[in-house]
Structure 1
Amino acid sequence: MRKKSDSNNSLIDIFGEVGIISLILLIFLCTIFAFFPEKSKIILEKLRFFLADNYGLYYAALGLGIFLCTIFIAFSKYGKIKLGKESDEKEYPSFIWGTMIFTSTMAADILFFSLCEWSLYYNEPYIQNLGSLQLWASTYPLFHWGPTVWGFYVILSVSFGFMVHVRNRKCQKFSEACRPIFKEKIDGICGRIIDLIAIFSLIAGTSTTFSLATPLLSKVISKFFYIQNTTIFTILILIIIAVIYTIAVLSGMKTISNLAKYSSYIFFLLIAYFLFAGGETVYILETGFSAIGNLAQNFILMSTWLDPLRETYFPQKWTIYYWSYWMVWCVATPFFIGKISKGRTIKDTILGIYMYGISGTFMSFIVMGNYGLSLQLNNKLDIVGIIAKTSDYSEAIIKIFDTLPFPNIALIILVLTMIMLYVTTFDALVMVASVYSYNMPDMEMEADKKNKIFWAIIFILFPIVLIFFKNSMYNLQSISIIAAFPIGIIIIFIIISFFKDAHKYLTEYDKRNIYFY
């Protein structure tokens, strides 16, 4: 790659207008959260309730609609389009490509939720009213991390891949993906608003991830080294992780691909430890098999149930949150996925993302989640009781590890897995965000190192504030739900733009009598 000289560059050249404005607004938000924490929480709660209660149909319809849309694209004429020239070969072998997709999208929060998500539903009236606690508490995690949420990644990855590799557009931004609709307006205030919304949505998603999972990591490390687990220590761990992923992203794509491969190996090792060393192998597999069958039978019902009478508020509290969380989290990574998918057809890209993404998440939730569920139902460990008494999910998760043989070894694997997933995920995010904001004429040009470091810092500022002021899970959910509302509208624009541009592309080729195989 050619590097642009950083001599005589202005701040706007290096960080971009979007980057500078994002920093100013982020500092403003951090100040508000820092000096007015209680009032901030009240405002967040009111906004979250208003959006989830009044616009739940918007989030639910968007999630289901996008999933169905991706299936249509895969098996339609659009699925035959190759991301690149007809002569282009796949840049990465399928396994490496799949691991890069999974590790760039799944940060350490997948381990946090895999271990405890079933317990979040355990006392929910809606789950209890459905009948079998074991069946539905193991099914809903698969639903909330399954085809619908992966659809957000799929549709954006395909749209961006088509934009970059087929249309050869130099600008890799959300606004550029909307150009077929807005045309030259994208170069003005319209495009800047779209890009600012996208960046803030991404910051909201990363903040939620860091704020939920990092306390678990710090608690485990403090236990090993007999260090008092304070908020400052948690923030220190976060900063160390940020330094690691910053060093990695400065090393380039080869380092990122290698990290993706090795982090997958460690992840598989942790899964195997739970599956074979915990003594619950048969229960885990049978419960997982039943949960997949239950999900397949009830997918449409679960996707469309919005509790109109508000008897339990379950979909507003959980399903809408997860759709929102994934919408804000998938702002940047699809650029990365689209870029590494060069040489594949759109159909192969769609089916590949679903295959690798769902396989990885289902494996994690079925094995680790059902292990904890078995402890609860067999009265070996009252995980729900620990959470209810202490409100400390990290403590409950550590108790789960204590039931395994050689628990310290298992915890070491957990720490390594979390750090590796953090690093690989945020490597991809920083790399994409730096190109996203960098003012450069050539899309093959590498962003300035100062720009990469700038975004590495941006991604940890807000999480530090949220962790320092100990925001609850409910408040963290609220941030995602609020940020997802405008980004959902932009995703709709991108989908319409893709169909418009792809149809035009196929029409051009039909006129030249070029056939797709």
Structure 2
Amino acid sequence: MDSINHQKRIDWMITLVPFTLISFLCLLFFLIPDQSNEVLGLIRSFLGDTFGVCYLAIGLSFFILSIYIAISQYGDIVLGTPKEQPKYSFFTWGTMMFTCGLAADILFYSFSEWILYALDPHISEMGTVQDWAGVYPLFHWSFIPWSFYLVLAVSFGFMLHVRHRARQRFSEACRPILGKYTDGIIGRFIDLLAVFALVAGTATTFSVATPLMATIIQFVFSIKVSRTTINLMILILTCFVYTYSLLHGIKGISNLANLCFYMFLALLVYVLLFGGETRYIIETGFSTFGRMVQNFISLSTYTDPLRTTHFPQNWTIYYWAYWMVWCVAAPFFIGSISRGRTIRQTILGGYMFGVGSTLISFILLGNYSMGLQFRGIVDFIGNYSQNMDIYGTIIDILQTLPFGSIIMLWVFFTMVAFYATSFDSIALSAACYSYKKLDSGELPHKSIQLMWCILLILLPMALLFSQSSMSNLQSVSIIAAFPISIVMLLIVVSFLKDADVYMKQSLK
């Protein structure tokens, strides 16, 4: 009887339609990889060129809105009952938020992103590689991306903990605007878009950074097996780890998040103290952060209208899209663990922990290799320009550290932990979408969580086997983000409308 009642609570349309379509896409990537990648590239080019300014405008708007919400009367609203206290300590809350929102990409890009920019002609337009290659990583991973997360997190937190809504979905967050249409075809369409975007974000993340993990294993153990085969093994390992922790509930997720953060912190401290570039790292980091803040508005609004380099289309627009598709899961998780905190505490604390940790990662890991480059010790830019293998270049960077092979393995296991904690939150959010209603504090059934753990790994595997280029992996996020950006704006307007009603009711 319990099994029958449980099945009646499942929204089979939201569960099975994405599963069917994702399986079909995976089949296409396996059978006709070249044609699939070509179509991806064409759609990405159209959206990036034609609507690129929309992505940029939404990004700047969300950042400004986050500051306004934090300093206004909205910031006083407690995500819960007015006198409720936070369930988690600031550190535990911060580690769960940080690890759920970034995955292993932060390590991949922290080491390599400045090298990818160094060869871009736009950097020459701006000035020198020393001055500008380290600025863009800080810009692309800090205030605007985290504003997406934090504005939506307080919107979802308000919906869950103040309004006590039982449907943990994008469509439910739009109810103050959509009204009865939330339960109709419009609401269904929004939720299907959200699930597709969720899978797209998962696919991009796994497909971008997993090859680095495979390259580390190949190098350290001198394995001759193909990188694709090792990728498959790593995906299975990571899937096992995050499935195991997820099935142990929020406690399992928080324990893994703490472990992941300590491993990450140990890596940063090691590079800073024992890499031999301490002074360069600190001074260059201080300068690049200042340059990023000074030029924040111009960086946020640069569109390259004459398409002399296509830099914003290739990078800034991709990053904003990448973070938008992650907004389907990460903000829900952040909002759910923020119960008892005020909206102001959630936004400002999120910036402090999330942005602060991210900036430190890029400053320490990126500037370490920049120091070796510009002091003439190793020519990473030249090596990369010859073979265009960014994963091999990161191996070259790690080799320069004392006990390089051990550090590579440390990076590998830290990436596994990052992936696991991030996909814990994604799988949990996806499982919530499968339910028509969930009571406050109730978690989805373990069988549904397990199903999503497996489903989320299929498209990344297909992309890896199809040998998708970096550009085509980026295309997946850019395409999925376009409709999601519209829904994000609808959610924010709904939140502001509902919060106004709540504050007026509280004054009576």
Is TM-score (shorter-chain normalized) higher than 0.5? yes
Q: Distance in 2 between matches of 1:246 and 1:219?
A: 24
Deviations 1:324-370 (A, max 9, x none): 01101221111111011111110111001111111111011000001
Q: Distance in 1 between matches of 2:488 and 2:30?
A: 32
**What's 2:356 paired with?**
359
Matches within 5 A, 1:110-189: 110-189=106-185
Q: Distance in 2 between matches of 1:387 and 1:16?
A: 48
Deviations 1:212-247 (A, max 9, x none): 111111221233333224212211111111011101
Matches within 5 A, 1:36-115: 36-115=32-111
CA-CA distance at 1:13 after TM superposition: 4.3
CA-CA distance at 1:400 after TM superposition: 0.5
With 428-437 and 182-191 compared, the bigger mean Cα shift is at 428-437
* Structure 1 residue 408 corresponds to structure 2 residue 405: yes
Matches within 5 A, 1:29-428: 29-230=25-226, 231-428=228-425
CA-CA distance at 1:15 after TM superposition: 6.3
SS at match of 1:6: helix
CA-CA distance at 1:74 after TM superposition: 0.5
What is the letter of the counterpart of residue 306 of structure 2?
Answer: L
Q: TM-score, normalised by structure 1?
A: 0.96
Q: How many residues get paired? A: 507
SS at match of 2:119: coil
**What's 2:475 paired with?**
478
Structure 2 unpaired stretches of 5+: none
**What's 1:502 paired with?**
499
Structure 1 unpaired stretches of 5+: 513-517
CA-CA distance at 1:253 after TM superposition: 0.8
Q: Distance in 2 between matches of 1:444 and 1:353?
A: 22
* Structure 1 residue 442 corresponds to structure 2 residue 439: yes
SS at match of 2:80: coil
Q: Distance in 2 between matches of 1:191 and 1:176?
A: 8
Tell me if the contact between 1:14 and 1:448 (Cα under 8 Å) persists in the aligned partners: no
Q: Distance in 1 between matches of 2:10 and 2:433?
A: 11
CA-CA distance at 1:8 after TM superposition: 6.3
Tell me if the contact between 1:218 and 1:229 (Cα under 8 Å) persists in the aligned partners: no
Change in CA separation of 1:15 and 1:393 when aligned onto 2, cut-off 3 Å: farther
Q: Distance in 2 between matches of 1:6 and 1:359?
A: 46
Deviations 1:126-160 (A, max 9, x none): 11121121111010000000101111001110100
What is the letter of the counterpart of residue 61 of structure 2?
Answer: G
Q: Distance in 1 between matches of 2:363 and 2:143?
A: 15
Tell me if the contact between 1:219 and 1:229 (Cα under 8 Å) persists in the aligned partners: no
* Structure 1 residue 17 corresponds to structure 2 residue 13: yes
Change in CA separation of 1:214 and 1:363 when aligned onto 2, cut-off 3 Å: same
What is the letter of the counterpart of residue 504 of structure 2?
Answer: T
SS at match of 1:96: helix
Tell me if the contact between 2:168 and 2:438 (Cα under 8 Å) persists in the aligned partners: no
- Calculate percent identity across the aligned residue pairs: 49
**What's 1:515 paired with?**
none
SS at match of 2:304: coil
Change in CA separation of 1:309 and 1:251 when aligned onto 2, cut-off 3 Å: same
Q: Distance in 2 between matches of 1:216 and 1:222?
A: 10
SS at match of 1:82: coil
Tell me if the contact between 1:83 and 1:162 (Cα under 8 Å) persists in the aligned partners: yes
What is the letter of the counterpart of residue 414 of structure 1?
Answer: V
What is the letter of the counterpart of residue 290 of structure 2?
Answer: G
Q: Distance in 2 between matches of 1:440 and 1:152?
A: 26
CA-CA distance at 1:125 after TM superposition: 1.1
**What's 1:466 paired with?**
463
CA-CA distance at 1:9 after TM superposition: 4.8
Q: Distance in 1 between matches of 2:290 and 2:101?
A: 25
Deviations 1:12-33 (A, max 9, x none): 7446321111101101111222
Q: Distance in 1 between matches of 2:211 and 2:40?
A: 22
Q: Distance in 2 between matches of 1:438 and 1:229?
A: 42
With 191-200 and 228-237 compared, the bigger mean Cα shift is at 228-237
Q: Distance in 2 between matches of 1:6 and 1:120?
A: 52
Q: Distance in 2 between matches of 1:391 and 1:246?
A: 34
Tell me if the contact between 2:123 and 2:133 (Cα under 8 Å) persists in the aligned partners: yes
Change in CA separation of 1:375 and 1:459 when aligned onto 2, cut-off 3 Å: same
